[in-house]
Structure 1
Amino acid sequence: MSNVYDQATTALLLVDPYNDFLSPEGKSFSRAKEVADSVNLLEHLKEILNAVREANIQVFFVPHHRSEPDDFEDWIHPTPYQLLTKQRQVFAKGSWGGEFHPDFQPQKGDVMIKEHWASSGFANTDLDHQLKMHGVQKIIIIGMLANTCIEATARFGMELGYHVTLVKDATAAFSKEAMHAAHEINGPTFAHAILTTEELLAVL
């Protein structure tokens, strides 16, 4: 399948654009800052979102579960990562950190997907159903983090039959090693295209 992004069958998945990730005062901002700055993350996210809207491509917000103090108390198998998120109350419900960054606010016509509890935006949410109901065959995935929610969502999407595009400078991770693994080692095993923002904008 060629990398042609028809507006009727393409969707942009914007994953976890929370203040806690993208704003300097965010709880997880400092952990991703070095990598985010190195790829000019915020500017690229804005460029892609603007270009997609101008092209009339459907935007889907794919948010992580917003933390609450009693999360996972009765769970059999919470992961260490989930428990750490609970402890730190990253993306806390009702908090500024759990709000979307000011530059990435939903607009009329955008689709808000149910929050995912772990990494995949597909698992235990309505993402697959919503994409199918909108006639989507190709998904462009941007946001946070490259080696967790972006990778898990993209892998799951490929398994469900979607054409998957990663944008390697429209995401970030907590280390350069994690970014390298996401795009140079793991990404080629499931993504149909791994582009830069410039390359994506040229074909939209």
Structure 2
Amino acid sequence: MTRETDTALLVIDAQESFRQRPDDWAATANPQLLANIARLVDHARAAGDVVAWVTHSEPGTGGVFDPRSGFVRVIAELDPRDGEIQVTKTTVNAFTSTDLQHQLTARGVRRVVICGIRTEQCCETTARVAGDLGFDVEFVTDATTTSAIGAGPGYGAVSGEELMRRTESVLGARGFATIVTTAERTARSVAA
């Protein structure tokens, strides 16, 4: 029996495409990513919250994000279930190129909990857009990850850990999101 909830867990880009970049995947700033996402998913399901799986696609590129590669799918260990929302985006945020907002609104969702891959890119951008759309946003930084950005013309190198902390600071201090840990989010009681 499903109960009504006002909360949705958005799992952003936790997809096989990233594991096909071995150097990038090995350099992840958060080796606990998959375990923390799995804990959040288990908690959301137990609470009767909506679980939404978002993947990123770059059709026609021939790379690991091209749907023809076969890697534009949720990482197998996370095991999406039938009946859970699944959308594929072609933009950085999860809303602009999908019907995610409509699906969430139709289910009465008012709060989104964000986790996934590329803390400072797709996760942060989704958090900001969700706030603009009127959702309350919780950002679970320790259930996100990214990797370092090397120096380039006009900008310096930034470690993955620094990117995660910067994102957390900007979202939290500027009021875009409430920052929570996996432990804090999963410690909330689950209604029977």
Same structural fold, with TM-score higher than 0.5 when normalized by the shorter chain: yes
- Identity within the alignment, %: 29
Distance 1:7 1:103, change over 3 A: farther
Alignment partner, residue 45 of structure 1: 37
Distance 1:11 1:165, change over 3 A: same
Indicate the SS of the match to 1:59.
strand
Alignment: residue pair count: 175
Alignment partner, residue 10 of structure 2: 13
Deviation track 1:97-150 (CA, whole Å, cap 9, x = no partner) reads 32221112320220112x222211011320111111010000001111110000
| Shift >6 Å, 4+ stretches | none
Q: Does 1:198 align with 2:190?
A: no
Query: Which ranges of structure 2 fall in alignment gaps of 5 or more residues?
Result: 148-159
2:64–2:71 CA contact under 8 A, matched in 1 = yes
Give the structure-2-normalised TM-score.
Answer: 0.82
Alignment partner, residue 109 of structure 2: 136
Alignment partner, residue 95 of structure 1: 69
* Aligned-partner residue type, residue 59 of structure 2: E
Q: CA deviation at 1:7?
A: 5.6
2:54–2:94 CA contact under 8 A, matched in 1 = yes
Indicate the SS of the match to 1:119.
coil
Indicate the SS of the match to 1:142.
strand
1:18–1:91 CA contact under 8 A, matched in 2 = no
Distance 1:28 1:62, change over 3 A: farther
Query: Which ranges of structure 1 fall in alignment gaps of 5 or more residues?
Result: 1-5, 70-85
In 2, Cα distance between the equivalents of 1:159 and 1:100?
27
Correspondent of 1:56 among 43, 48, 57: 48
